[in-house]
Amino acid sequence: MDCDKCGNPAVMHAAYSGLHLCEKHFCRSVEKRVRRRIREDALLSPDATPDDPETWVVGLSGGKDSVVLTHILHETFAKDPRVELLALTIHEGIEGYRDESVDACLDLVEALDLRHELVTYEEEFGLRMDDVAESDPLGMAPCAYCGVFRRDVLSRYATEFDADKLLTGHNLDDEAQTALMNVLEGDVAQVAKHFDASLGSFEERAEVEELVPRAKPLRDVPEKEVALYAHLKDLPAHITECPHASEAYRGEIQRLLLDLEENHPGTRHSIMAGYEELAGIAAERYRRGDGPEMRECERCGGATTRSLCRKCQLVEAVDAA
């Protein structure tokens, strides 16, 4: 098939739009969607100036999503004095797998001449995910531990680096899965939290003083298109599934969405369009209520609604195992 824009050979067909695109127009389309999301979410504050720029910390794992996001952000803002980018990589202690993805991170930041920081679970918590997955003191999937640890490290270091925004590489599939899981679980409070945490525009969110605001500029781009972009741009992405990946429920949702998308192209986009609007309504309602009061964790001093934050509870359980 030929590209609908220029007539050159197409490298992909987007069933949800009907478009066939060549390499040039496909890559331009991905970049355009990321930049449009940045504008629509008002990611760059009007108060940012060359003398007082914003610091954006990018969670860079070395996987395709974070590598593509970092690449496009650099292409967009490298010459913009209002934005300073900092890539943050976390080594969870997964032998082989994470070592290779860290190498991908190092190749990328060297090519982009980007400031880069590397931290490890072993330094932060005195543990490695290989050991946690083996001992599993609470009978949970490894992802349940790792997700809590990762969010904690990202948030703490974003604060330490005095970041104005924390950016992650969640794609359209990731966000549609989360949306559907929240709806199927009937978790309206989580839907509202999702809006203020990362889904809504910065002009519409309620500010959470204890946390660096998050954003997901890649969330309009399907996963397969992210992978294709990384391939066509020859980016140093480590495209291999984590050996401990075992989120059974999310896996079911992922398969369901892929089937729906194949039979009804555009399903993921439709889910997110409706979900974002409903999340905004839920957020307004829950902001008026008396939610749990944030306080300091007795162990680490982090923000929590309990005496011990979830991260410290998990570290305590692992240490006791």
Binding site annotation covers 201? no
Binding site annotation covers 136? no
Binding site annotation covers 242? no
pLDDT digits (tens, 9 = 90+) for 209-253: 668 999 999 999 999 999 999 999 999 999 888 888 877 788 899
pLDDT digits (tens, 9 = 90+) for 253-275: 999 999 999 999 999 999 999 99
Could you tell me which residue, 301 or 121, shows the higher pLDDT? 121
- 284 lies in the same domain as 299: no
Cβ–Cβ under 8 Å, residues 92 and 121: yes
- 154 lies in the same domain as 300: no
Residue 5 counted as domain residue: no
Binding site annotation covers 61? yes
CA distance 317 to 251: 26
Binding site annotation covers 3? yes
- 281 lies in the same domain as 300: no
Beta partners for 87?
A: 58, 116
Binding site annotation covers 27? no
Mean pLDDT of 279-286: 93
CA distances 289 to 34, 201, 272, 293, 306, Å, are: 34, 21, 25, 12, 19
- 276 lies in the same domain as 304: no
Residue 57 counted as domain residue: yes
Beta partners for 57?
A: 86, 166
Confidence bin at 286 (pLDDT 50/70/90)? confident
Could you tell me which residue, 167 or 306, shows the higher pLDDT? 167
Residue 21 counted as domain residue: no
CA distance 71 to 78: 10
> What total number of domains does the chain contain?
2
Q: Which helix (H) or strand (E) holds 130?
A: helix 129-135
Domain that holds residue 172: 48-292
Q: For residue 291, what pLDDT is reported?
A: 60
pLDDT of 177 > 90? The answer is: yes
- 298 lies in the same domain as 185: no
Binding site annotation covers 25? yes
Specify the CATH number for the domain of residue 154: 3.40.50.620
Q: Which of 129, 57, 52 is nearest to 86 (CA)?
A: 57
Q: For residue 295, what pLDDT is reported?
A: 85
Could you tell me which residue, 95 or 34, shows the higher pLDDT? 34
Residue 23 counted as domain residue: no
Binding site annotation covers 135? no
pTM: 0.94
Mean pLDDT of 112-137: 95
Mean pLDDT of 168-172: 97
Residue 283 counted as domain residue: yes
pLDDT of 294 > 80? The answer is: no
Binding site annotation covers 300? yes
Residue 258 counted as domain residue: yes
Q: For residue 288, what pLDDT is reported?
A: 74
Mean pLDDT of 284-304: 81
Binding site annotation covers 280? no
- 161 lies in the same domain as 310: no
pLDDT digits (tens, 9 = 90+) for 18-77: 999 999 999 999 999 999 999 999 999 999 999 999 999 999 999 999 999 999 999 999
pLDDT of 191 > 60? The answer is: yes
CA distance 233 to 111: 13
Residue 58 counted as domain residue: yes
- 117 lies in the same domain as 227: yes
Binding site annotation covers 131? no
Average pLDDT score, the chain: 94
CA distance 132 to 136: 6
Residue 134 counted as domain residue: yes
CA atoms within 13 Å, Cβ hemisphere of 111: 14
- Which is it for strands 83-91 and 54-59: parallel, antiparallel or unpaired? parallel
- 131 lies in the same domain as 270: yes
Binding site annotation covers 103? no
- 176 lies in the same domain as 258: yes
- 94 lies in the same domain as 239: yes
pLDDT of 290 > 60? The answer is: no
Mean pLDDT of 93-105: 92
Q: What is the DSSP string of 141-194?
A: -HHHHHHHHHHHHHHHHHHHTT-SEEE----HHHHHHHHHHHHHTT-HHHHHHH
Both tokens of 74, joined, read 């650099």
- 311 lies in the same domain as 193: no
- 256 lies in the same domain as 201: yes
Binding site annotation covers 290? no
